[in-house]
Structure 1
Amino acid sequence: MTLAAKAARIQPETLLRASVVVALVTIALKTLAWWLTGSVGLLSDAMESLVNLASAVFALQMVRIAERPADAEHPYGHHKAEYFAAGFEGLLIIVAAIGIAWTAVQRLMNPQPLEQLGLGLGLSVLSSAINGALAWVMLQSARAHRSLAVEGDARHLLTDVWTSAGVILGVGLVGLTGWIWLDPAVAIAVAINIVREGVHLMSRSTEGLMDGALEPEVQQAIDRTLDEFRHRAIRFDHVSTRRSGRRRFVDLHMHMPASWSLGRAAAMRAAVEQALMSAVPGLRATIQLLPTDVETGYDQEKDPL
């Protein structure tokens, strides 16, 4: 089994717990790096790690809610809770970016020399390596489990890695050139990049709450499966799909001869449902049986409002 396959098997909740621990470790490392150097760029990096911690804690709670079984008040489950985690994380990222930019502007107006750059940069590199390794594992798991909460946290960690790389570059250039204005300038660039990632996460969260259709490749798998059952006596129409957290849904009408017995029709529908769920893991299929020559109200033109 490959390393990626092993990473994909790790459960989302386990990874989010690890993310909380890693966030605490990186906060300590980056805060120490800022304290040693006085770099506002490293301070901005530490502030983003605080956002990582808050995001990981919130995402962990949302994943736990999403895993709750359906109940009387939520008959379709709680799967959309993960979208709130991604939206909350995006909002926190933007707030952190505003704080970073404000601090950087103040330092740009009142430059200060940096100290102990070697040790400070070493601590920042170490924290970035930890974040990068965890983000890679989380992305493998997010794809396998279709968890937007885990994906959002992973992409935030990757943003943190790139942020740290930019900060390290800026602080290193200060050490080489003596141009102390590069430190706050890099921090401002970091803030702009963080805002972009925050907006992206909030957009993904909104799309999820809008019940978007399944991915094109998944819909193609559904079409191929239905093609296996299509013949002169059976046809399908009004096929619609949607996503809800990790769940996938498809609704469709299945037309067959009115002369068929109820038992035969039900057996055929069960075969189609089983084939669809085998072709698309996690899919929930709802199939309405209709005689071949009967159409539903969906086929009638609606009166204008």
Structure 2
Amino acid sequence: MKEQKKIILISLVTGIVLMAAKFSAYFLTSSNFILTDAAESIVNVVASSFAFFSIYLSALPRDENHPYGHGKIEYFSVFIEGGLIMIAAVIIIVKSIYSMLYPHDVHELLTGAIIIGVTGVINGCLGYYMIHKGKILPSITLDADGRHLVTDMVTSFGLVAGLLLIHFTGILWLDSGLSILVGLYILFSGYKLLRKSVAGLMDEADFLILTKVLQVLNDKRKEEWIDIHNLRAQKYGNELHIDCHLTLPNYFDLNKVHEEVSLVDKMINTEAGVKTELFIHSDPCLPECCHYCSMPNCPIRSEPKRIEIEWTMDKVMPNKKHFAS
């Protein structure tokens, strides 16, 4: 968590400096187009401030009131960031429409373009770095903040191109017209962050992670593991929680059951690439399982194995053994 805090702090300080530079460019040029970027930089600073707090809170240990930890706060951070971006976009669009109806002169556009271009390069470099670190650590907050900065870089480069176009053509309404287009793009970016945060808060299944877990289970599958069902996953910050039922031969004693369950736990944590807490309920096999059970020399087998069932999403997620499919 110390590394995450350090990265967010760098993002916060950088955001404050770049915000000052962008507003200086706005006051120099009186361009609504530049104001779109300056207004979004306020969101960068506020979002980074909340992200810093959310990372601090998510690092706190579990307690009686939060038995799964405080990792969900990161989704609130992303929600607030997305909401602020959308508010900024609406303000930009309204201001640009007003300026299109009541135009005013703009000046020093080349100087403004240089300032915005430099801030765009800095935001882009920092954004890609944060996305990279967000995947390694992993941290949804770093990833969201990084993607926001990359979005800011894209809008800044578009802004530079627009400013040059206005400068060389002298068409003043382009300043407000292009601002509206950028505002719509920023609005869509904010919506995507909101969608991602709501998905996390509602415990929407992360099929990318589940597919990786299933690949590990299929690759390392043992004959004793007759089937896995009722598989569910939740994310709390950078931790994954998985519930599932594991069907084992009904003649296994408690020590053997514990051994197999622990092996599944260790295997997923070692090879799935994400820190995982597993709650595995062990089920005894039934005679109806025999037709897909691979257990050799089974003393209670009622019929020979007839089919091979691959553990796919549609097989492992329902709360029923595979014979009931």
Following superposition, the deviation at residue 248 of structure 1 comes to 1.2
Following superposition, the deviation at residue 103 of structure 1 comes to 1.9
Tell me if the contact between 2:25 and 2:34 (Cα under 8 Å) persists in the aligned partners.
yes
Q: Which amino acid aligns with 2:280?
A: I
Identity of aligned residues (%): 29
Is 2:136 aligned against 1:144?
A: yes
Three-state SS of the structure 1 residue aligned to 2:277 is strand
- Provide the C-alpha distance between the structure 1 equivalents of 2:169 and 2:249, rounded to a whole number of angstroms: 82
Q: Which amino acid aligns with 1:93?
A: I
> Which residue of 2 is the match for residue 18 of structure 1?
10
Is 2:235 aligned against 1:243?
A: yes
List gaps (5 residues or longer) in structure 2.
Answer: 289-318
- Provide the C-alpha distance between the structure 2 equivalents of 1:292 and 1:110, rounded to a whole number of angstroms: 76
What is the correspondence of 1:4-83 to structure 2 with a 5 Å cutoff? Answer: 11-83=3-75
- Provide the C-alpha distance between the structure 2 equivalents of 1:61 and 1:262, rounded to a whole number of angstroms: 45
1:233-269 deviations in Å (ceiling 9; x for gaps): 7443333323333221222222333433322221222
- Provide the C-alpha distance between the structure 2 equivalents of 1:266 and 1:97, rounded to a whole number of angstroms: 55
- Provide the C-alpha distance between the structure 1 equivalents of 2:91 and 2:179, rounded to a whole number of angstroms: 11
Is 2:238 aligned against 1:283?
A: no
Moved more, 250-259 or 48-57: 250-259
TM-score (structure 1 length as normaliser): 0.88
List gaps (5 residues or longer) in structure 1.
Answer: 1-8, 301-305
Following superposition, the deviation at residue 289 of structure 1 comes to 2.3
With over 3 angstroms needed to count, the CA separation of the structure-2 counterparts of 1:291 and 1:159, relative to structure 1, is same
Following superposition, the deviation at residue 129 of structure 1 comes to 1.1
What is the correspondence of 1:158-173 to structure 2 with a 5 Å cutoff? Answer: 158-173=150-165
Corresponding pairs, count? 290
> Which residue of 2 is the match for residue 86 of structure 1?
78
TM-score (structure 2 length as normaliser): 0.82
What is the correspondence of 1:135-284 to structure 2 with a 5 Å cutoff? Answer: 135-216=127-208, 218-225=210-217, 228-231=220-223, 234-280=226-272, 281-284=274-277
Moved more, 214-223 or 93-102: 214-223
Name the Cα RMSD after superposition.
2.3
For the pair shown, the structure with the greater C-alpha radius of gyration is 2
Following superposition, the deviation at residue 113 of structure 1 comes to 2.2
With over 3 angstroms needed to count, the CA separation of the structure-2 counterparts of 1:42 and 1:291, relative to structure 1, is same
Q: Which amino acid aligns with 2:118?
A: L
1:112-156 deviations in Å (ceiling 9; x for gaps): 222222222111111111101100101101112232211211111
Following superposition, the deviation at residue 218 of structure 1 comes to 4.2
